[in-house]
């Protein structure tokens, strides 16, 4: 995957993150009050913001070009610790998985925790049982959901919980949902964005959206994804 640096860092004395985006003509509006989460699909990255500042950046795995992660705006509803999982009918038909319920644990495709979004939305931000794939350069590898490398830090951010408590619950014996505040979440598609060094970087158009890339905040595209957690068991 070829990344192109378009603009060098603007320096420590420059203005805030939003100003950097504005100067580069990137149509993402960072919420200036409270928490927010952005998954930038072409960058394979999740960014958590608090009061306008990025406080967490994590590698992610997104949907393949034929099982796209949908572009949308939503919100966090809960965190499920130690989820169970059942493959979707399409996965079973393809021979990819047997029709069985996968119990909680390290071998579960959802990993040890999943951040649930708006009720009825079958796209999660979750751990994985294949963490080695975060080392891949092209991470468009999932069935549509978003696998998060730093899932413990994300859960800590969402629930305002110590990492020690996150790990204790994730490695416990109970499967349960912990209610979460409705933190805004955007699954966005920005082929240019500001990286952790303050540089404006161009990313490959992995879904070949062309002119529809860099979707402004507030606009939603109904991309259909066959999400790998569409049959997560309650």
Q: What positions carry a catalytic annotation?
A: 126, 145
The string of DSSP letters for 43-78 reads TTEEEEEETTEEEEEEEEEEE-TTSPPPPEEEE--E
The string of DSSP letters for 75-97 reads E--EEEES--B---HHHHHTTSS
Query: Hey, is 157 helix, strand or coil?
Result: helix
Instruction: Give strand pairing partners of 37.
Output: 48, 185
Q: Is residue 194 within 8 Å of residue 112, measured between CB atoms?
A: no
Q: What are phi and psi of 63, to 5 degrees?
A: -70, 150
Instruction: Give strand pairing partners of 148.
Output: 60
Which tokens in the block code for residue 60?
A: 């992610």
Tell how far CA 186 is from the center of its chain. 9
Q: Looking at 124-194, list the stretches that DSSP marks H as alpha helix, in order from N- to C-terminal side.
A: 151-159, 163-170
Q: From CA 53, how far away is CA 109, in angstroms rounded?
A: 32
């Amino acid at each position: 995957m070829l990344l192109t640096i378009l603009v060098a860092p603007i320096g420590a004395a420059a203005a805030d993150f939003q100003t950097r985006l504005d100067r580069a003509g990137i149509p993402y509006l960072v919420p200036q009050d409270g928490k927010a989460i952005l998954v930038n699909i072409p960058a394979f990255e999740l960014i958590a913001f608090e009061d306008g500042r990025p406080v967490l950046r994590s590698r992610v795995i997104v949907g393949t070009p034929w099982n796209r992660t949908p572009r949308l705006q939503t919100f966090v509803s809960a965190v499920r610790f130690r989820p169970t999982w059942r493959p979707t009918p399409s996965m079973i038909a393809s021979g990819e998985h047997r029709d069985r319920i996968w119990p909680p644990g390290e071998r579960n495709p959802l990993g040890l925790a999943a951040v649930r979004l708006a009720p009825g939305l079958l796209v999660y931000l979750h751990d994985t049982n294949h963490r080695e794939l975060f080392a891949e350069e092209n991470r468009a590898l999932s069935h549509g959901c978003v696998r998060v490398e730093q899932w413990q830090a994300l859960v800590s951010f969402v629930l305002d919980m110590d990492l020690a408590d996150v790990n204790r619950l994730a490695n416990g014996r109970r499967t349960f949902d912990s209610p979460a505040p409705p933190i805004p979440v955007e699954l966005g598609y920005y082929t240019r964005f500001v990286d952790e060094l303050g540089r404006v970087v161009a990313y490959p158009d992995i879904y070949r959206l062309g002119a529809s890339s860099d979707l402004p905040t507030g606009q939603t595209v109904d991309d259909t994804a066959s999400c790998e957690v569409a049959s997560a068991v309650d």
